[in-house]
Structure 1
Amino acid sequence: MVQRQHSASTQIPSVRQDNSRPFLTQKVVLSSLHAQQVFDRGYEMCANALFSLSVVLRFIGSEAQAQEVDAVVDASIDQSLEDLRQESRRLREVAESNGIESAMGYTSARTVEVKITSPRAIRYLAIIREFDGMLAQMDALWLSSVVTDAQYARGVYEWKRRILRLAGQIRQIASRAVLAARRKEAGDMGGADADAPVVENGDVAARAANDNREPSERD
């Protein structure tokens, strides 16, 4: 069996690696190849980052600072999930108006055992599951010739890119949090750079909000 190798760049270190950490295990069925690929490429990276955010930020300057970064991450996750749900509803309405039933079958649906290590990790998993459900609607429309090959390929590509980009944005925020935590630890000993901000002037928040909008709506 071929095992995936994980790049060290996707591992966001927490303040303490040797502590015993709680986790939940959840079995999830992912039907479509595209949702399986998003899970393989994005979930572990995002879950590691989200764990670091939940833990590391509480070691930084102030609770207000931690809550500011929490709000950035929550807004990005919530917006992506809501947009996916809206798209699923839209596709369902198109299918119903064309008399199409979306009882889809898949040749290689896969059950994955997911380790939930933070409250936000289960929300990123919800995005992947919603994406999988949306693809069932899109697949039904494509197989019924309502959606063209080009429309199908573009729709799948754009949503995969957006969901994986969200994981990358969260990882970027987590990286800043880890660096700030290290500066704080050094500052406690040397008195320098103890209160460096994690999100400087809202730049990460602004980029995340802009990147998660439709191309025609961006600045």
Structure 2
Amino acid sequence: MAEAATAQSEQPQQPQANRQPYSRPVFRQKLTVNSLQAQRVMERSFDRVSNALFSLDVILRIIGDQTEINQVEEIVQGHIERVAEDMAKAMEQLKKVMSDNGIEAVPGYSAPTEYSIEITSPQIAQIARLIRNLDELMSLVDTLWLNSILSSQQRSDATYEWQQRLIKLAGRIIGMEKRARISAHSKGKDKEVAEAAPEQETTDPELSSEADVQDNEDGAKSSKKGSKESSSGAEAA
């Protein structure tokens, strides 16, 4: 018995199989972007916010229950839908101004850029659609500017406003991902999260700043909620 046990313990251990990457559905597409503002949003934020959306989903499924997952998805969806609705209204207003002035043609652009993108979730598809709509919105603004309906200052204000609106949206989503990673750390899930969804650095300072604002807002809400629950518990006691 002892000899058998010794022989068994001396047998070389089999190496653990490498973890298989999670196989997820993906659409690979080409996205052509014409305007400078939409190109800036694409280059500064698309890859990072796509990674944040994927990581957020993975992290929540590691640390949270289905109710929490649904709540976060609703918050993200709400942020995206508000921007989409406001953009649609702005486009309708600009199209009406064009129609009132008998303008039908829109300009081409001298340096369109084609991007290869991967759609791995409905939210990423919505972000890509927002960038397409931003491109169309900028075309309408430029049309009215070239026809002397909008002044250079009005054009500058409109293009900057909408560029920043999408940058801010991306920052909010990245901030939610950061908050989820902090929650994973507090629950001792750091290693599991790091393996499933490695953290990507946010190199754009404005995106990073917006993410910090969202992180702080979420932290303040959590603290306020905790205070209310503690107060309710004290009253019940």
Give yes or no for TM over 0.5. Answer: yes
In 2: Cα distance, 1:18 partner to 1:89 partner: 48
**C-alpha contact 1:91 1:138 (8 A) present in aligned 2:** yes
In 1: Cα distance, 2:151 partner to 2:119 partner: 37
- Aligned ranges 1:64-213 → 2 under 5 Å: 64-186=67-189, 199-200=218-219, 202=221
Residue 185 of structure 1, CA deviation: 3.4
Q: 2:187 is paired with a residue of what secondary structure?
A: helix
- Cα separation, partners in 2 of 1:18 and 1:166, compared to 1, 3 Å: farther
Report the identity percentage: 32
Residue 151 of structure 1, CA deviation: 0.4
Residue-by-residue CA offset, 1:86-114 (whole Å, 9 max, x unaligned): 11111001001001123321111122111
TM-score of the superposition, structure 2-length normalised?
0.69
TM-score of the superposition, structure 1-length normalised?
0.75
Residue 24 of structure 1, CA deviation: 1.9
Counterpart code for 1:136: S
Unaligned runs of 5+ in 1: 1-16, 188-197, 204-219
In 1: Cα distance, 2:187 partner to 2:114 partner: 42
Cross-structure match for 1:30: 33
Query: Going by fraction, where is helix more abundant, 1 or 2?
Result: 2
Counterpart code for 1:134: L
Residue 60 of structure 1, CA deviation: 2.0
Residue 116 of structure 1, CA deviation: 1.6
Aligned residues: 177
Structure with bigger gyration radius: 2
**C-alpha contact 1:49 1:171 (8 A) present in aligned 2:** yes
Further displaced range: 163-172 or 23-32: 23-32
**C-alpha contact 2:63 2:189 (8 A) present in aligned 1:** no
In 1: Cα distance, 2:184 partner to 2:105 partner: 49
Counterpart code for 2:135: D
Q: CA RMSD in A?
A: 2.1
In 2: Cα distance, 1:75 partner to 1:122 partner: 15
Counterpart code for 1:31: N
Where in structure 1 do 4 or more consecutive aligned residues deviate above 4 Å?
198-203
Further displaced range: 78-87 or 96-105: 96-105
In 2: Cα distance, 1:51 partner to 1:168 partner: 15
Unaligned runs of 5+ in 2: 1-18, 191-216, 223-237
- Cα separation, partners in 2 of 1:167 and 1:118, compared to 1, 3 Å: same
In 1: Cα distance, 2:137 partner to 2:118 partner: 23
- Cα separation, partners in 2 of 1:132 and 1:18, compared to 1, 3 Å: farther
